[in-house]
Structure 1
Amino acid sequence: SGPPNRLFAVGLGFSPPPCPPSRLGIIVMHLRDDDDTSNCHINDNRHHNLHARNDPAKRFTPGDPCVVCGDAASGIHYAVAACNGCKTFFRRVVLENRTYSCKNNGDCIIDKNMRCSCRHCRFKKCIRVGMDRSGCRLFNL
């Protein structure tokens, strides 16, 4: 029998929160003293980015377009394939409880070149394509 396994929890750069770790998406690594490799898994029982990757309907492959603006998606964010710009925009709107109005009639085109032209329509499209507000609250400590 080899050396005992050690369990390390790698947080996301913040002190331990008051809620159980299983609700935070903390990466857990199992390391053996004689092994340079590690096996990682994610503890997360909420609907969040990492959970969506396990759903066959929401798998991400590099080169997939952002479902909001069509730019290159960087991964599954808030349950959909999204670019970093749309991910960050959505998170800020939700966490800061921002509201916007449309200067047109609420049906602006949101694409890679025009995504910043109307925040109201961009957020509306984020919701329409399935971005999940509850994922934003996981790391709002």
Structure 2
Amino acid sequence: MIDTPRPGPRPTVSTEGPQHQLDQQATPELWGRLVASVFALPGVIEGHSQVSPKSSRAVFLAEMKAARTPETSLFPDGRLEPVHLHGVDDTSVHLVLPVERGARLTELGWAEPHQYEDFGTEFMVYGPRDPAELAVVVSIVEESLAYARGD
């Protein structure tokens, strides 16, 4: 579990919806590696996000169709969607985490609360700028999936 600060200043994030990262995005190659790494995780299915722009990719869990509790999904009224990856023009990730963990990642500079949070569990994680940050972002996605599963 990552507990080191993200180097440098936070990226600029939109103040009007949908929430997206405006600078410090991943390169297209690094974003492609992020997408490939996330969809190579065990039990993950790629789909269309129920709540994000068309360029986003939803991360669904093969073994779970419904959220175990509403705060474990970005779309509590539909299929369980604990994570979605924004497109190559944005490269950030929206996901759910326990409130305390999301607050810690926010303190460390990796994340910020989701613009439209309902439960305090919804966060934006910034797109990775290099391979080391890619590993961190993928590990945060894994934390989100574990939270959604109840692990």
Larger radius of gyration: 1
Higher relative contact order (CA 8 A, sep 6+): 2
**What is the TM-score with the length of structure 2 in the denominator?**
0.25
